[in-house]
Structures are given as C-alpha cells and as structure tokens.
Amino acid sequence: MKNAWLIIAALLLSATLRAETLYITDSFRVPLRTGNTNAYRIIAELKTGTAIELLETDTESGYSKVRTKRGTEGWVLTRYLISQPVAKIRLEAAEKKLKELSDQKIMLKGSQSELEQTAEKLQEDNQALKTFNTKLSDELSYIKQVSGNTVAINQRNQELIEENQQLQNQIELLTAETDRLKDDTNKEFFLYGAGAILLGIFLGLTIPSIRRKRKDPGWV
C-alpha cells in the first residue's frame, strides 16, 4: 500500500514537472478537442497568442494535452504550440513595456525637477538661517556689551547718587548757616536802628537845653 502511494506521488510530481506554459502559433485558430485525434469533438477554438498550460504530449498522435487559463482541458496539435508568445504579442508587450518605461521616465523627470526645486529651496532656507544666525550672534554680542556697560553705569549712578547726597547735605548746612547769618545781621541792624533812635531822642532832648543855657544871661 505504501508503495502504491509512492507511485501515485511520483506520477503527480512527474506530471507537475512536465507542465509548462506554451502559446498558440501565429495566424491560426487552433481547435481544442476532447481527444488526441481529429475525430474527437471540438470544445473550443484557441486564438493566436493564447497562453495555455502543457499537461502531456503524445508523440505518436502528434497531439498535446493542455489546460486553458479558465481551466478547460483538451487536446491540440503539437505543431501549433510554441514556447514563446507570437511576434504580435511580443510586440504589444514590448510597446506596453516601452510606454511604461516612458511614463516612468516622465515621472522620474518630474520628480527630479521637484527634487531640484526642493534642493534649491533648502539652500535658500539654509542661507536665510545662516543670515539669521549671524544676526542673532551680533545681537547677543551687543547684549553682552550693553550688559557690561549697564553694570558700569549702575555703579557710576550709585556713586553720583552718593555724591549728590553729600552735596545736598552741604547745601542744607550752608542754608542753615546762611539763615543764622541773616538772623544775626537782622539783629545787628535792629540794634543799630534802636541805638540810632535812642541817640536821636537823646540829642533831641539835650540840644534844646544847651541852646537855652547859652541864651540865659546868667551865663555871661
């Protein structure tokens, strides 16, 4: 029993190995028959260039058993089978491939143009970034310089504030001294005025009596 299964497997493998894709030759419509002679019934007509799968070949009858893409199996004359597609099919395939390549070339050319534009834009952006970076560096240097100057300015400002406070103190002292001197001067003026008034009163009282004495005969 085991040997029978091995034989069946070998036959199936042999049939699978023999299967290959062939094509109907050019300028013909080949009948697909139920058997390996022209006495068998025609079940289909295969057009030129039709791809079929070869199942087995009968060299004595000159027929080969094939299977179509739809799964129909039958026999055709072996001489109508070729290993490559007919020239018309190959030409159509070549033209189709050429068109695909042409389309790909156009797409690649468009992509290349887009890439070039993108590269140019990136270069412009890079240059802009370099310029911006330079500007930022200059601004940073200026800020550092201003910061250093600010420290010096603040220090000098503090010194000026202290000097101003000292001057303000001196002004207050001078103002107080001036007020004191004014008070002293006013007092002196008052004393001088009072003295002059007293002197005037004294003279006003004394001079008339002196004059009367001079006119009195008793003085002669």
In this predicted structure, the answer to whether residue 60 has a pLDDT above a threshold of 90 is yes
Q: 75: closest CA among 115, 12, 31, 128?
A: 31
CA distance 162 to 170: 12
**What is the spatial distance between Cα 63 and Cα 37, in angstroms, rounded to a whole number?**
7
User: Is the residue at 38 inside a domain?
Assistant: yes
The first and second tokens of residue 198, run together, are: 């007293």
pLDDT at 145: 78
Parent domain of 34: 2-85
**Would you place residue 188 in the very low, low, confident or very high pLDDT band (cuts 50, 70, 90)?**
confident
Residue 75 lies in a domain: yes
- Pick from 39, 96, 42, 34: nearest CA to 65: 34
48: nearest Cα among 25, 77, 79, 81: 25
CA–CA dist 24, 50 (Å, integer): 5
Check residue 41 and report its DSSP letter: P
In a domain, 50, yes or no: yes
The pLDDT value recorded for residue 175 is: 86
Residue 205 has pLDDT above 90, yes or no: no
**Nearest alpha-carbon partner for 80 in 39, 20, 28:** 28
Query: Is 29 inside any structural domain?
Result: yes
Question: How many residues appear in the chain?
Answer: 220
Q: Is 68 contained in some domain?
A: yes
Split into its structural domains, the chain has a count of 1
pLDDT at 117: 85
Reading phi first (left if > 0) and then psi (alpha if -120 to 50, else beta), residue 105 is in alpha
**What local confidence, expressed as pLDDT, does residue 18 receive?**
55
Sign of CA pseudo-dihedral 138, 140, 146, 151: negative
Whether the pLDDT of residue 77 is over 60: the answer is yes
Kindly report which listed range (9-23, 34-48, 119-133) carries the lowest average pLDDT score. Answer: 9-23
Residue 203 located in a structural domain: no
The whole-chain average pLDDT of the chain stands at 79
Q: Is 216 helix (H, G, I), strand (E, B) or coil?
A: coil
